[in-house]
Amino acid sequence: MSETKRIMLIDNEEGLCRMMEAVLADSGYAVKGYTRSFEAAEEFKAGEWDLVVTDIKMPGMDGLEVLQKVKGKDPAIPVIMITAYATVEMSIQALRRGAYDMLTKPFEPEELLYRVKNALKHTQLLEENRELRETLVGKFRFDNIIGASTGLKGVLERVEKIAVRDTSVLITGESGTGKELIAQAIHYNSPRKEKKFVAINCGALPESLLESELFGYKKGAFTGAKENRQGLLEAADGGTLFLDEAGNLPMNVQKTLLRFLQEQEFHRIGDTTPTKVDVRIISATNADLKEAVKSGAFREDLYYRLNVVNIHLPPLRERQDDIPLLAAHFIILQNRKFGTALKGLDHEALEAATAFAWPGNIRQLKNVIEACTAMESEEYITLPVLSQFIEIPAGSGEADAGFEGEGEEGDYAVALSRFEIDYLKGLLRKNRGNVEAAAREAGMNMATIYRKIKKYQLRREDYA
């Protein structure tokens, strides 16, 4: 037994109590017997015991009261009830109060051991399932955040530290950098993970609707309010509310939100009775809230309440090392969704994607990869396909057809480019401009020939 299980025995019959204590101790359990139920209930502390075995009929405090006391201190503790007068009614009553099992006197030592093993095994399985669920939830949520750059690692280290601390967080960064994923990572690695994660885009709703969505309203508060309605703040009770684009919050909503952050209560629209909830607020913005405070568009006191901890997400152009990983991830998702088998981006396409500034950040990269996978007919996403969706400078990363501004004639890249141009022109002239025939003769696929033609900006008159 890797860890000795601790069992509390309670029975006012001293002989039976000592017998059970000996049987269980001989099987490797750490056992302590009590003949006075009051003393046992008083000494019981959560986390110190793995199982309680108690008689029902005892003077003073009976077994059902003991059950209630220990369950009040540790709801997860399994309790086996012993009785010489088992009735259906008593069994139902005990099970309803949380007893795990009933053992009827007289019983053999083997039966006691069997019931104890079952109870402990059941508890162990519950604990393992809980730990596994927590591990998987946390791992899954962090696996949604793809990247290995130094900037992203710093963000994730910060997320891990603040997730367990129940404080307000403001996530800043350009649009499309993954602010909601970070908010989810904070929630699902926090003590609130079993409760709801509720998100709202504060810039997507008009002012009047935003207020009622957040705080709810009372029946008759305005025309059309035919019944009481719970707002998102109330729906997130015990969990996390994510306010995306918080810089768009109107002043009246800012005032109500500030009161909630100060008092943990708010008023539904049209209600005079405050509603109290326990919610963690995580907000995000791509705007400069400090400037909004200076201009009077955002309350300074609310800004400091929301920005207790700040997490800034770097734009994708500052995470170049993550672009190949993100692209590969999005290609895998598209392959799963449509049953395709794209292997990735070819060398030239990957170089271009890594060099691109991605003004729309991760969201833009995801959309471009989706578009490319729909258009590409080769094994890899090629530069001609990628160039339909992002701007690629002429001759980017390569010498262009004219070689202006290049280095010395002896430069290897220039020499290689000159050779390729001369070779392509000769090959195409020989095959009278027929790309399919030229590719067959060169042992290349047609897409490669077309890429080279585009790369060196060859015109038909150059080889026809």
pLDDT in tens, 92-123: 778 778 888 888 888 888 999 999 998 888 77
Q: Taking the domains of the chain in order of start, what are their residue ranges?
A: 6-127, 144-314, 316-350+361-381, 393-464
Q: Which of 285, 331, 290 is nearest to 312 (CA)?
A: 285
Tell me the CB-side half-sphere exposure of residue 82, using CA atoms within 13 A. Answer: 21
* pLDDT tier for residue 147 given thresholds of 50, 70 and 90: confident
Distance, in Å, from the CA atom of 234 to the CA atom of 217, rounded to the nearest integer, reads 11
CB 10 within 8 A of CB 54: yes
Looking at the DSSP assignment, which residues form a beta bridge with residue 210? none
pLDDT band at 132 (very low <50, low <70, confident <90, very high): low
Q: How far is CA 2 from CA 5, 28, 29, 49, 135, in A?
A: 9, 11, 11, 16, 22
pLDDT cut 70: percent of the chain above it: 88
Give whichever of 220-234, 340-354, 393-407, 427-441 has the largest mean pLDDT: 340-354
Topology of the domain comprising 6-127:
Rossmann fold (3.40.50)
d(CA 184, CA 64): 43
Per-residue pLDDT band for 353 (boundaries 50, 70, 90) equals very high
Residue 92 three-state SS: helix
Structure tokens at 25: 């101790």
Q: Which amino acid is at 381?
A: I
Q: Which residue has the tokens 């508890």?
A: 123
- Cα–Cα distance, 318 to 378 (Å, whole number): 30
SS3 of residue 91 by DSSP: helix
pTM greater than 0.75 (yes/no): no
Cross-strand pairs, 283: 170, 243
Q: Does 362 score more than 90 pLDDT?
A: yes
Instruction: With beta carbons less than 8 A apart as the criterion, state whether 283 and 168 touch.
Output: yes
DSSP β-bridge partners for residue 81: 54, 102
For the stretch 254-286, pLDDT in tens is: 999 999 999 989 988 888 888 999 999 999 999
> What residue spans of 58-100 are helical by DSSP H?
63-73, 88-96
pLDDT (mean) for 367-386 = 90
**Token pair listed for 323:** 């672009």
Q: Which residues pair with 266 in a beta bridge?
A: 275
* Number of helical H runs and strand E runs in the chain: 19, 14
| Residue (of 10, 6, 5) closest to 40 by Cα position | 10
| Higher-pLDDT residue of 129, 367 | 367
Domain 144-314 has CATH 3.30.70.580: no
**Angle, in degrees to the nearest 10, between helices 347-355 and 323-338:** 120
The model's pLDDT over 423-438, given as tens digits with 9 standing for 90+, comes to 788 888 888 888 778 8
Give the H or E element holding residue 79: strand 79-83
Q: Is the pLDDT higher at 128 or at 17?
A: 17
**Neighbour count for residue 294 (Cβ, 10 Å):** 11
- Residues 392, 396: Cα–Cα separation, whole Å: 7
Residues in the chain: 464
Instruction: Answer yes or no: same fold for 6-127 and 144-314.
Output: yes
Q: What are phi and psi of 380, to 5 degrees?
A: -120, 155
Strand partners, 147: none
Q: Is residue 286 within 8 Å of 245, Cβ to Cβ? A: yes
- State in words which class domain 393-464 has: mainly alpha
Q: Measured between alpha carbons, how far is 216 from 271 in angstroms, rounded to an integer?
A: 10
